[in-house]
Amino acid sequence: MIKILKRQLFSSRFFFLAVLVLPLIGFGAYALSARPQFFFLIFIALIFISGLSFFYYRRFTQLTAQYDIKRQDFYEQANVLESDIEKEWQGINAIKKKIVDYGRLKVLAEKLNQSFTIHETTRTLTSEVMQLFGHKEVTIILYLFQSKTGELGISASRKGQMEVNLKAKKGDFYDRWVAKNVQALLVEDTKNDFRFDFKKAHTEDGRVIRSVMSVPLMIGSKAIGILRLDSSSPNYFHAENIRLLATAADLGAVAIENAQLYEKIEELAIRDSLTGLYLRRYFLERMGHEMQRELRQGGELSFLMIDLDYFKRYNDAYGHMAGDIVLRTVSLMLSDMFGDPGNMICRYGGEEFAVFIHDCSKERAVEMAQQFRKKIEKQAIVLRREKTMITVSIGVSVFPGDGHLKNDLIEKADAALYKAKGKGRNCVCCA
């Protein structure tokens, strides 16, 4: 249409010039050379041409106005079309981002399915969520509610792709808000949010926090933890981010619950249900590994075999319930005496217990065994309003001095135990 208007304007201008100029040139030349009286005709021709010129000038003005209107309409349509195209591209980019995000959620779900322990699961969850929202200035914190106290405790934390150690182990006021309200929290700018005191965001954990998003980890109607991200930059998170974080938290909550159940099942498989001590099979397996480690490091490993004296008589006199109470009491005292990191205690069978002590000489092992024997000897157990007493006999052997094989160490300690029983019980003997 615009090209047609331009051609019309060009044709009108050319015709106007031809009608106006060419007759004047011809009449002027003829009048000057032949007939001066012909100037009257020129005058009449000028009047005619002027009228014709006025007519074409108005026509030209109309066509010019139409052209301007058409041009404005064209530009408006072009702007609308450009805006629509831009919106379409924004929609396409948003869809692409969602495809990438949901692809990462799929990877998160697959990796969580391959994680069995709490430690492995929490590390996987924080690492993969950081891939979704990652930036070197973003900090991610995973809190889990402690089963004994019900308080929040940090299970995993990282800044960027590096693990960090934070001071606020039980969370700050943002985390307490989420725990209290059991709902997601988005603070785009902590400086402008009326719900929280911006000054505390600087001082409580020593970090500058300008934007926060946090969601509870839910199993049904029960919250088992909180997944939180914060940044030192304002307006870093928005509503679309928190929806994605909530989806990741749902996947993480299921994986954490499965890991907790898995660890409970493992504990049941390796611990005695009555005393809570390790079972013999697992104890001996660990003992073999510890002997190899001490051999590499050039240290010593002490092994104690402990037997309750006259326990059958005790059971016959007071009943098996009383015997269970005695076994639990002894197990608690063993844990109190030998429960340092690296050591291990087990219920070896019936009324027998076994202990290995990491990096411990024979002299030190005998000394500790004597301390435990005396402690048991003085421990009164009240049954049916009657104060009863028990004693123990202990055999001690040490790796590698008494043997390089696990069975040799056990046999030496067992022989020392029978030696103690032969001496009248309630004593300690070593191999």
**pLDDT tens track for 198-223:** 776 555 567 788 899 999 999 988 99
At residue 190, does pLDDT exceed 50? yes
Mean pLDDT of 95-100: 73
Mean pLDDT of 159-164: 80
Nearest residue to 70 via CA among 7, 14, 4: 4
Mean pLDDT of 384-395: 88
Residue 79 banded pLDDT, cuts 50, 70, 90: confident
Q: What percent of the chain has pLDDT over 90?
A: 35
Q: How far apart are CA 29 and CA 107, in angstroms?
A: 94
Q: How far apart are CA 304 and CA 326, in angstroms?
A: 19
pLDDT of amino acid 424: 92
Q: Kindly report, residue by residue over 230-287, the tens digit of the pLDDT.
A: 998 899 998 888 989 999 999 999 999 999 888 888 777 888 889 989 999 889 988 8
Mean pLDDT of 169-191: 89
At residue 289, does pLDDT exceed 80? yes
CB atoms within 10 A of CB 385: 5
pTM score of the predicted model: 0.58
CB atoms within 10 A of CB 147: 8
Mean pLDDT of 48-54: 73
At residue 15, does pLDDT exceed 90? no
pLDDT of amino acid 131: 84
β-bridge pairing 344-349 and 278-279: parallel
Nearest residue to 135 via CA among 116, 162, 155, 153: 162
Q: For residues 42 and 89, which has the higher predicted lDDT (pLDDT)?
A: 89
pLDDT of amino acid 413: 94
Q: Range with the lowest mean pLDDT among 49-53, 56-60, 171-175, 256-260?
A: 49-53
At residue 196, does pLDDT exceed 50? yes
- Where is mean pLDDT largest: 107-116, 380-389, 403-412? 403-412
CA of residue 184 relative to chain centroid, distance: 15
pLDDT of amino acid 5: 44
Query: What six digits make up the tokens of 360?
Result: 């411990």
At residue 86, does pLDDT exceed 50? yes
pLDDT of amino acid 335: 93
At residue 183, does pLDDT exceed 90? yes
Mean pLDDT of 29-52: 65
**Length of the chain, in residues:** 431
CA of residue 321 relative to chain centroid, distance: 47
Q: How far apart are CA 362 and CA 402, in angstroms?
A: 10
Mean pLDDT of 51-59: 76
CA distances from 108 to 81, 245, 396 (A): 40, 12, 51
- Catalytic residues, by residue number, are 351
Burial string for 321-335 (b: 16+ CB within 10 Å, else e) reads: ebbebbbeebbeebe
Q: What percent of the chain has pLDDT over 70?
A: 87
Dihedral, CA of residue 349, residue 353, residue 357 and residue 363, to nearest 10: -130
pLDDT of amino acid 37: 61
Residue 9 banded pLDDT, cuts 50, 70, 90: very low
